[in-house]
Structure 1
Amino acid sequence: MTLEIALDADEEWDSSTDWARLADAAARSAILESAFPQLAAAARSVEISVRLTSDAEVRVLNAEWRGKDKPTNVLSFPMLEEDELNQAMVAGPELLLGDLVLARGVCESEAADKGVAVATHATHLMVHGTLHLLGYDHGDDDEAEDMEAREVRALARLGIADPYQVND
């Protein structure tokens, strides 16, 4: 698969971190753990846009698109329907999977609460967001359990421990 990550990072995101590489690895891993692993072998290019920005920008987007006037860790804006994802092996133009937007302050705060590096937590959020782009959700217990299991497996592929495991 030719995966293209169109990344745009605000100056508040640490420029010494290779965010494009992390986003690429997170997306690939999420795709392989999804119901659409064929995307990994598709002849068509797959593109994901990733915006690393401020809490303020995410708050505006969250209010506009979700009716929630507060920042959140990651927003996902899918662009493909399930039938389009199932057609990945059919010759055609690039597949625009969708957009991910991460909020720096929320990500940093959650990483501190979990005792992990910001890059590690951001990678988790990118896996989570990519699964949303692929049609996964956590609206009910069964969906949440399935999505969480896929996240854990995708993160394990990247050498990242289960972020849901409670340490006593």
Structure 2
Amino acid sequence: MSKLNVDIQHASTAQNLPTDEQLAEWATSAHRNDTSDQAEVTVRIVDEAESADLNESYRGKSGPTNVLSFPFEAPPGVPIDLLGDLVICAGVVEREAREQQKNPTAHWAHMVIHGMLHLQGFDHIDPREAEVMEQLETQLVTNFGFQAPYPDEEAETHS
């Protein structure tokens, strides 16, 4: 089984953030084992200004967003297993949790897992791919004892 090194960067003044251990545990849970012995990801917790700048620069969208995923692709012949970077906006995650009446810790777990899956090629643009990604997210989030992140998934798992 491969090991995931999780580098946590704090660039936010937000309070009541998950611990570095929680962030690493959630990221590790979403790491789909590949052929390498060791992989690395950076999780950067930011404030809304940095999130908005990155969202505008890389996605052409204004305002902050919950999580941005920046996959790393090594040049051919360079044996580096760096998954990439996750940039998570503390303010947006906390606001979304309140607005959606979700447990804040559960929402943080979901954002880390969601971002990690994006780094590994999962996407939700095509409806079939979205279904696969959402089912995997639901499985991983509920493995931590949290409610399913998507209301329709929760109804399906309890019926």
Shorter-chain TM-score: what band? 0.7 to 0.9
How far has the Cα of 1:126 moved from its partner?
A: 0.4
CA shift, 1:10, in A, is 2.9
Q: Which of 46, 63, 82 in structure 2 is aligned with 1:70?
A: 63
CA distance in 2, matches of 1:164, 1:23: 20
Closer, same or farther in 2 for the Cα pair 1:16/1:103, shift >3 Å? closer
Root mean square deviation of aligned Cα: 2.4
Residue 131 (str. 1) matches residue 117 (str. 2): yes
**Which ranges of 4 or more aligned residues in structure 1 deviate by more than 3 Å?**
none
Secondary structure in structure 1 of the residue aligned to 2:26: helix
Asked whether the 8 Å contact 2:106–2:141 carries over to 1, the reply is no
Aligned-pair CA distance for 1:80:
3.5
Residue in structure 2 matched with residue 98 of structure 1 by the alignment: 84
Higher relative contact order (CA 8 A, sep 6+): 1
Correspondence 1:109 to 2:95: yes
Secondary structure at 2:61 match in 1: coil
Q: Give the distance between the partners of 1:43 and 1:147, measured in 2 at CA.
A: 23
Match of 1:52, SS?
strand
Amino acid of the structure 2 residue aligned with 1:56: A
Deviation at 1:165, TM superposition (A): 1.7
Which ranges in structure 1 are unaligned for 5 or more consecutive residues?
A: 32-36, 85-91
Aligned equivalent of 2:4: 3
C-alpha change, 1:49 and 1:57, in structure 2 (3 Å) is same
1:119 and 2:105 equivalent?
yes
**Percent identity over the alignment?**
36
In the other structure, the counterpart of 1:38 is 33
Displacement, 1:16?
A: 6.6
Contact conserved, 1:53 with 1:104, CA < 8 A, in 2? yes
Distance in 1 (CA, whole Å) between partners of 2:41 and 2:135 is 22
1:146-168 C-alpha deviation (Å, 9 max, x unpaired):
11111001112222210112589
- Counterpart CA distance in 2 for 1:51 and 1:134 is 17
CA separation of 1:16/1:105 partners in 2, compared to 1, >3 Å: closer, same or farther? closer
